[in-house]
A and B are shown apart, each in its own frame.
Chain A
Amino acid sequence: MTPVAAEGDGTEADLAACPECDELHVRRAVRPGERARCTRCGTTLYRRPRRRPDHMLAIVTAALIAFVVANTFPILVLRAQGILSEATLLGSVAALWTEGQEPAAVLVFLTAWLFPLFDLLALFVLLLSVTTGRRPALYAPLLRALQAVRPWGMIEVLMLGVLVSLIKLSRMADVVPGVALWAFIALTVLLAAILSYDLRVLWRPVPHQEAAR
């Protein structure tokens, strides 16, 4: 099901309406990196991403690798009185769960692990089908799910949390940054690029020329 926006299908393909104030605008072409703003309230109506889908695919792949590394190795290693203590993100979630803080464990698991991972995997599949020019039946539901989940992924907040814990813990013990800390920093940087890519271009009925290449 890939409906094409054309005359007579109940849509106005050459119009855009502001999601914040409902003002109607006539669409015009924008150059890569440019955005069209609402004349009334200034909200971004649509934009043309600077990066091509195949570039984004490379960035998403790198982010997935960073995600795996960030969750495989300990974030920080603590040493106090000769004893080592270390934890991964999922180890921390498990600790919360066994301490009887199940709601907090679920919240951290979803916002810091599952939703960001789903975001990256879904975007990988979508960009892959855009660059190869074939849209599977799951394309539309997957893109909708991705847009619904995106606000709930909070890797950048987690990153700040890692830095605050690092400072807090360095008061109590010797703290050695783990491999995962560097992976988290890389992941945060890559995610900044990923989040700035406007997902709505993926709804365009025909993959634009740059994608076909």
Chain B
Amino acid sequence: MKALTAGLRVCLVCRTVCHAPGDGMGDDRAPVRCPRCGAAVHARKADSLARTWAFLIAAAILYIPANLLPVMRTSTLFHTSDNTIISGVAYFWTSGSPELAVLIFTVSVVVPITKIVALAFLAWRARKPFRADAHPLGRLYSVVELIGRWSMLDVFVVALMAGMVQFRSFATITAGPGAAAFGAMVVLSMLAAHSFDPRLLWDHHGRSDDAR
């Protein structure tokens, strides 16, 4: 039995099961205050899908400058070169560290786009009833929530390189505008994942078979 059907709600902060206001049935949107921790307890996360979409669209837009703008500028006595995420990957690939190239490419390019597409798919599926099993969708959400943070890797690498390589006379590394765009994209996609309520996937689970 679902907590919602029983007129109960679980506090997502302390996991206390609280009584819903009124008769407890239906989608009563008013939050109750958790008696144990004081957090607002909603039956489902407030405006979950609208917030998820808003953060996702913002993240998808930032994905473009994050990958096109230079994240790092290397200056030596003789020349200055701008590096994007992709040129950094290419550098590792050609200079004999293919495993690092694969690592950076995965966390910086593959993970963000996979996360955005997967969350968009989940938000689309959660909108209306469907006949499919909710198990793989729930698992997809858990994975997406877990891996997103690793996309910050390149932002940290750029920050550390820029902080350390300061040989004023002959070589300096500075961060480029792509680093901020990239970091903002990661933050927005993490906010999108936090806003999504996986319980929405299960609300439709098996419903079409119940002949309602």
Q: Which residues of A pack against B, CB within 8 Å?
A: 1, 3, 5, 9-13, 15-24, 40-41, 43, 45-46, 75-76, 78, 80-81, 83, 85-89, 91-96, 99, 101, 103-105, 107-108, 111-112, 140-141, 143-144, 147, 151-152, 154, 157-158, 160-162, 164-165, 167-169, 171-173, 200, 203, 205
Let me know if A5 and B170 touch, CB within 8 A: no
A153 to chain B, nearest CB (A): 9
**How far is B189's CA from A151's CA once the two chains are assembled, in angstroms?**
13
Let me know if B202 and A22 touch, CB within 8 A: yes
A127 to chain B, nearest CB (A): 17
A45 to chain B, nearest CB (A): 8
Let me know if A92 and B35 touch, CB within 8 A: no
Q: A22-B10, A23-B2, A164-B157 are in contact. Are A85 and B95 (CB under 8 A)?
A: no
**How far is B159's CA from A164's CA once the two chains are assembled, in angstroms?**
12
Let me know if B95 and A171 touch, CB within 8 A: yes
Let me know if A140 and B138 touch, CB within 8 A: no
Closest-by-CB residue of A relative to B183 is: A107
Which residues from B are CB-within-8-Å of A205?
36
Write out, one digit per residue, whether chain B residues 155-185 have a CB within 8 A of any chain A CB (1) or not (0): 1111111111111011100111101100110
Let me know if B97 and A167 touch, CB within 8 A: yes
Let me know if A11 and B164 touch, CB within 8 A: no
A94 to chain B, nearest CB (A): 8
Let me know if B19 and A140 touch, CB within 8 A: no
Let me know if B175 and A101 touch, CB within 8 A: yes
Does chain A have a CB within 8 A of B113? no
B65 to chain A, nearest CB (A): 12
Closest-by-CB residue of B relative to A200 is: B15
Let me know if B15 and A46 touch, CB within 8 A: yes
9 residue pairs bridging A and B, Cβ less than 8 Å apart: A3-B35, A75-B164, A85-B164, A87-B164, A101-B177, A112-B156, A161-B157, A164-B104, A167-B100
Let me know if A96 and B162 touch, CB within 8 A: yes
Which residues from A are CB-within-8-Å of B201?
21
Does chain A have a CB within 8 A of B126? no
A148 to chain B, nearest CB (A): 8
Which residues from A are CB-within-8-Å of B175?
96, 99, 101, 104
Which residues from A are CB-within-8-Å of B1?
23-24
Let me know if B138 and A21 touch, CB within 8 A: yes
Closest-by-CB residue of B relative to A161 is: B156
Let me know if A162 and B160 touch, CB within 8 A: yes
Q: A17-B10, A87-B166 are in contact. List 13 more A-B contacts (CB 8 A).
A: A16-B10, A17-B9, A17-B15, A21-B205, A99-B162, A103-B180, A104-B158, A107-B183, A162-B156, A169-B165, A171-B95, A172-B165, A172-B171
Closest-by-CB residue of A relative to B95 is: A171
A196 to chain B, nearest CB (A): 14
Does chain A have a CB within 8 A of B198? yes
Does chain A have a CB within 8 A of B98? no
**How far is B154's CA from A162's CA once the two chains are assembled, in angstroms?**
10
Which residues from A are CB-within-8-Å of B176?
101
**How far is B56's CA from A197's CA once the two chains are assembled, in angstroms?**
31
Which of B10, B160, B184, B194 has the largest number of chain A CB atoms within 10 A? B160
**How far is B13's CA from A140's CA once the two chains are assembled, in angstroms?**
11
